[in-house]
Amino acid sequence: MNILIVTIKSWHIDNFYRLKVKYPQMNWYLIDNKEFLDLENIKNISPNYIFFPHWSWKIPKEIYENYTSILFHMTDLPFGRGGSPLQNLIIREIYKTKISAIKVEKDLDSGDIYLKKDLDISLGSAQEIFIKMSDIIFFEMIPEIIENNITPQPQKGNKIIFKRRTPQESDLLQLEHITKRKVYDFIRMLDAEGYPKAFIKLNDELMIKFSEVHLKNNKLVGRFEIE
């Protein structure tokens, strides 16, 4: 069996190599650059499954119509279709969610569901949560889908769309009804590789960026940088 993983995130790439060792009887392939995701490369691999953990770009129609293509979304679909799911959940103070494994279709996050797994996002940085999510995807969900040959089922429930956040929305002073918990959530939900960190502008030239926040003895402690 040929299995293709398509991702650019370091934590998923690390787990790809761990999974490759754990299941040596399968042929594992990795695409870690969006420029290499084209039909010719896919034909050369001839995958039985293509998995897209944490993928933010459009997947070509000729790929998902000809190969079983599965992506993973951090909401209990159809609730939370769309961009920035972690940030949109935390800003709404939703701390218990699901990882949905779905069939890639034309419409965003609209595909049939293969399976769902619970995910607690109440604590930890975005990076820590993404790593925890990756472990569930690679060592629970992908093996279960492959080994059980799961047939996906249509999504059920009310469709709620999330809007992708912009870097400007990382401004900490945009928070309303500020509490320590809200500040903690805001900083941690943006603290991951490739994400615009929470910031406060001091003037037109200087900006404070916040990361590595923790709740300790009813205080917030963490790291700040001035750029």
- Per-domain boundaries in the chain: 2-162, 167-226
Distance CA 80, CA 74 (A): 8
What residues contact 90, with CB distance under 8 A and at least 6 apart? 121, 185, 186, 188, 189
- Please give the model's pTM, rounded to 2 decimal places: 0.92
* β-pair type (160-162, 79-82): parallel
- Superfamily name and number for 2-162: Formyl transferase, N-terminal domain (3.40.50.170)
Query: Across the strands, what pairs with 225?
Result: 209
Task: Give the model's pLDDT for residue 128.
Answer: 97
Helices (H), the chain: 10-22, 39-45, 61-64, 85-91, 126-136, 142-148, 180-188
CA distance 157 to 146: 26
Q: Answer whether 31's CB lies under 8 Å from 57's CB.
A: no
Tokens of 45: 């691999």
| The pLDDT value given to residue 194 | 87
Cα–Cα distance for residue pair 81/165, rounded to 1 Å: 13
Is residue 134 within 8 Å of residue 142, measured between CB atoms?
A: no
The Cβ of residue 149 has, within 10 Å, a number of other Cβ atoms equal to 7
Q: What b/e readout covers 65-86, taking b as 16+ CB neighbours within 10 angstroms? A: eebebbbbbbbbbbbbbebbbb
How high is the mean pLDDT in each 10-residue block of the chain (227 residues)?
96 96 95 92 96 90 96 97 96 98 94 98 97 97 95 95 95 94 97 94 95 93 95
Q: CA-CA distances (angstroms) from residue 196 to 34, 66, 123?
A: 21, 36, 19
CATH architecture of 167-226: Roll (3.10)
Query: What is the per-residue pLDDT for 97?
Result: 98
The per-residue pLDDT for 59 is 93
How many residues are listed for the chain in this entry?
A: 227
- What token pair was written down for 147? 């080994």
Give the separation between CA 174 and CA 101, rounded to whole angstroms. 33
Cα(79)–Cα(164) distance, integer angstroms: 15
